[in-house]
Amino acid sequence: MQVIGEHGCFGGVQRFCRHDSETIGLPMQFSLYLPPQARERSVPLLVYLAGLTCTEETFPVKAGAQRVAAELGLALLSPDTSPRGADVPGEADDWDFGVGAGFWLDATQEPWRRHWRMESWLMDELLPLLGADDPAGLPPLDLDRAGIFGHSMGGHGALTLALRHPGRFRSVSAFAPIAAPMRCPWGRKAFTGYLGDDQGVWLEHDASELMRSQQSAPYPDGILIDQGLADRFLDEQLYPEAFEDACSAVGQPLVLRRHEGYDHGYYFIATFVEDHLRHHARVLLR
């Protein structure tokens, strides 16, 4: 792992890092905020997955989460949203597919299957890397106390990865997630391109369908979702009510907050990000 940028921030350190990923077959980048407590002890890790067109820099620059993370003693990880530099034909033709649009799954279709393996990269390579020795000699991050959240495409990723990998995360939340991707244009486009036409495979990556298949509540401490009602993508792309219905069907506690006047952008996220960090801290720090 190479630290390519480091900045003092609220008594801690905001890092920007790169590593040569065997899973992706390309260099991959991520940001990592280490609170001041990380100098002395292993701290919990909160993973943030960003949305379409975003990079590893979007969340640390725009969300304003470091102040509260420093108070609570939480590390914040934000990985890049897709491979870059793969030179796959058509990879940058559309803003909602290809570069900047990895959808936090492993592609099975050509020409994407070699490099677009975002689920395996995060779960099987990047997280174990961060749980190992720190390049600056700091204590390793505590992966036994990890939570996950995200926005839009990343909210989809947070919900699906939390459900697909039981036991890996203790807490989960989302901002304006793509909650039922099988129903929406973004999801159908991504699933067809990355996974093929078999909708039985799609079910394994749809948060609402995954939740509905649970035998009991997988997150008894509750899931938090914030949704802006001035979000131009709400009606066609997001379907929070589908996830709400699925949670109700299996008895999963859910707080779905709907906010007048808030859109899909980072002013919305910055407004409510403290609530999300405190939601995770109640579980990760007890």
The single-letter code of the amino acid at 273 is V
| Residues belonging to the active site | 152, 231, 264
Nearest to 204 by CA among 163, 143, 151, 245: 163
Compute the distance between CA of residue 286 and CA of residue 281 in angstroms, rounded to an integer.
8
Q: Can you spell out the DSSP letters for 148-214?
A: EEEETHHHHHHHHHHHHSTTT-SEEEEES----GGGSHHHHHHHHHHH-S-HHHHGGG-HHHHHHT-
Compute the distance between CA of residue 199 and CA of residue 212 in angstroms, rounded to an integer.
16
Tokens 């204590």, residue located? 139
Compute the distance between CA of residue 27 and CA of residue 115 in angstroms, rounded to an integer.
11
Question: Alpha helices, DSSP H only, in the chain?
Answer: 58-62, 66-72, 118-120, 127-130, 153-164, 185-195, 199-202, 207-212, 240-250, 266-284
Nearest to 256 by CA among 231, 220, 221, 226: 226
Tokens 């940001």, residue located? 31
Contacts of 54 (CB under 8 A, 6+ apart): 81, 100, 154
Nearest to 61 by CA among 286, 269, 275, 253: 269
Backbone phi, then psi, for 49, in 5-degree steps? Answer: -105, 120
Compute the distance between CA of residue 244 and CA of residue 256 in angstroms, rounded to an integer.
7
